[in-house]
Amino acid sequence: MAVIFSGKYFPLLNLLLIFIIFTNQAKANNNPQNFHYFCDHSNERGNYTTNSTYETNLNTLLSTLISNTQINYGFYNFSFGENINRITAIGLCRGDIKPNDCHDCLNKSKANLTQLCPNKKEAIGWYEDEKCMLRYSDRSIFSLNEIGPAYFAWSLQNATSLDAFDEAVENLLQILKIDAAAGDSSRKFATESEIVGIDNKTIYGLAQCTPDLSGPQCANCLNESITEISRCCKNRIGARIVRPSCNLRFETSFQFYQTIADSPSQQPPSPIPSASPHSSDQGKNNTSSGTEVDMIPLLLLLLCSLLYVLV
C-alpha cells in the first residue's frame, strides 16, 4: 500500500515524494517501518525541558497508562500534573486485540514516541494495522473530535466490477459508521463484510472511534473518512484512513481482523472454535460434521489394535 500523511488528496508525484521522505526519516530515526507518528504537527505546543517537572509527569503518566490492567476493551485516558505541567494521554487498541497484546503494543508506542519526538509536548503514533494508538499533549484531548493529523494508505490494485464494487464499499462503510457510533463509553468498534460481484468477492471492513466521543462525534469523524475515500481511493480493493479520533479500513478477500465475543462472559464454553459471525449456518454445520467424521478412523484404529492384542 502507498501511504500519505495528510488530510488532503495529493497528485501522484507528491505522493511518491512524501512516501520517500517518510521512509528516509524512518530509517534515520531507526523507526520501525510499521509505526506512523507525528510530533506536534501544528508546531503550537512547543517543547519541554529535559529533567523538568513536565518530563517527570509525562513519564509517570505514560507508565501509569501502560501498566493499567483494569480497563476493558483497550481504551485508556488519563491526566497527570497541574497547571502548565498537566498532561493528558489517550491509549486505544483495536477492538479485537487481546489485553496482553494491547499493553505490549502501547508499551512499544511509548518507547517509540518518546524517542522519535524528544522534548515535544504533543505527539501521536499508530502501529500498522491500527493495532494501537498512543497520544499525549499538554492540552485536554478528551472528548474532542480531531480528524488530523492523519495518514492514508490504499491498495495499488483496482477492482473489476467498478460500479458494483464502489456501491458495495459505500454501503459497507455506512453500516460500519452507524454500528461504531452506536457503541458505548467503553467501546465504539464495528466490523462487517459485504459480498460483491459475479465472483462473490467479500469486502471486509472495520471502523473505530475513541469511546470518549459522543455518537454524533464518532459519526462525523467517520463521515470525513468516508468522503475522503471516495476521492483518494475510488475503485481500490483496499484502503484505510487513520485519524486521532477514528479509523476506517476495508480490504477485499482477506479478513484482517479477528472475530471476538462481545464480552468474556458471552464466550462459548465449548472447546470448538467459534465460527465467524459472517459465516453461514451451513458453514457451522460443516465444521461440526467434520469433527464427528474425523473420529471414525481413530475409533477403527483403536478397535483393530485391541483385536490384535487379544488375538
Q: Based on the domain organization, do 132 and 160 belong to the same domain?
A: no
Say if 130 falls within a structural domain. Answer: yes
CA distance linking residue 218 with residue 207, whole number of Å:
10
41 and 115 co-located in one domain: yes
pLDDT in tens, 203-226: 999 999 999 999 999 999 999 999
Sign of CA dihedral 213, 223, 125, 106: positive
Shared domain check, 205 and 121 = no
* Residue 238 maps to a domain: yes
| Interval 115-121 mean pLDDT | 96
Distances in whole angstroms, Cα of residue 6 to Cα of each of 97, 209, 276 = 27, 19, 35
> Same domain, yes or no, for 60 and 114?
yes
Last residue of a domain, one of 252, 274, 294: 252
Count CA atoms within 13 Å of residue 248 on its CB side. Answer: 30
Q: What is the pLDDT of residue 24?
A: 33
- Looking at residue 44, what is its pLDDT? 86
Residue 281 located in a structural domain: no
- Among the candidates 227, 252, 277, a domain finishes at 252
Count: domains in the chain: 2
Residue 231 lies in a domain: yes
pLDDT tens for 43-102 read: 889 999 999 999 999 999 999 887 776 665 689 889 999 999 999 999 999 999 998 889
Q: In this structure, are 122 and 176 located in the same domain?
A: no
Flag whether pLDDT at 252 surpasses 70: yes
Q: Final residue of a domain: which of 252, 268, 302?
A: 252
The whole-number pLDDT of residue 33 equals 65
Does residue 115 share a domain with residue 85?
A: yes
The arithmetic mean of pLDDT across residues 269-292, rounded, is 28
- Is 218 within a domain? yes
Residue 74 lies in a domain: yes
The predicted-structure confidence for 160-208, as pLDDT tens digits, reads as follows 888 899 999 999 999 999 999 999 998 999 999 999 876 788 999 999 9
Q: How far apart are CA 80 and CA 152, in angstroms?
A: 32
Of 44, 243, 45, the residue nearest 137 (C-alpha): 45
Of residues 62 and 33, the one with the higher pLDDT is 62
Shared-domain flag, residues 102 and 160: no
**23 confidence band (pLDDT: 50, 70, 90):** very low
Higher pLDDT, 140 or 1: 140
**Same-domain status, 174 and 115:** no
Domain of 74, in residue numbers: 31-137
pLDDT digits (tens, 9 = 90+) for 284-303: 222 222 322 333 333 344 34
Contacts of 181 (CB under 8 A, 6+ apart): 188, 209, 215, 216, 218, 219, 222
Residue 10: is its pLDDT beyond 80?
no
Asked if residues 131 and 101 have their Cβ atoms less than 8 Å apart, the reply is: yes
> Do 229 and 243 form a contact (C-beta atoms < 8 A)?
no
CA angle in degrees (0–180, nearest 5) for 10-232-23: 55
Question: Both 162 and 132 in a single domain?
Answer: no
Whether the Cβ atoms of residue 72 and residue 110 lie closer than 8 Å to each other: no
Please check the confidence at residue 149 and state whether its pLDDT lies above 90. Answer: yes
Same domain, 133 and 213: no
The answer to whether residue 296 is domain-embedded is no
Strand partners of residue 134: 91, 125
What torsion, rounded to 10 degrees, do the Cα atoms 7, 9, 10, 16 define? 70
| pLDDT, mean of residues 5-10 | 41
Whether 24 is covered by a domain: the verdict is no
For the chain, strand residue ranges (E) read 2-4, 35-39, 75-80, 87-93, 123-127, 132-137, 151-154, 188-196, 201-209, 238-242, 246-252
Q: Where are the beta strands (DSSP E) in 231-279?
A: 238-242, 246-252
Same domain, 54 and 130: yes
Q: Average pLDDT of the chain?
A: 77
Pair 122, 42 in one domain = yes
Assess contact for 79 and 89: CB atoms under 8 A: yes
Domain harbouring 184, CATH code: 3.30.430.20
pTM score, two decimals? 0.74
Residue 19 banded pLDDT, cuts 50, 70, 90: very low
User: What percentage of residues in the chain have a pLDDT greater than 70?
Assistant: 71
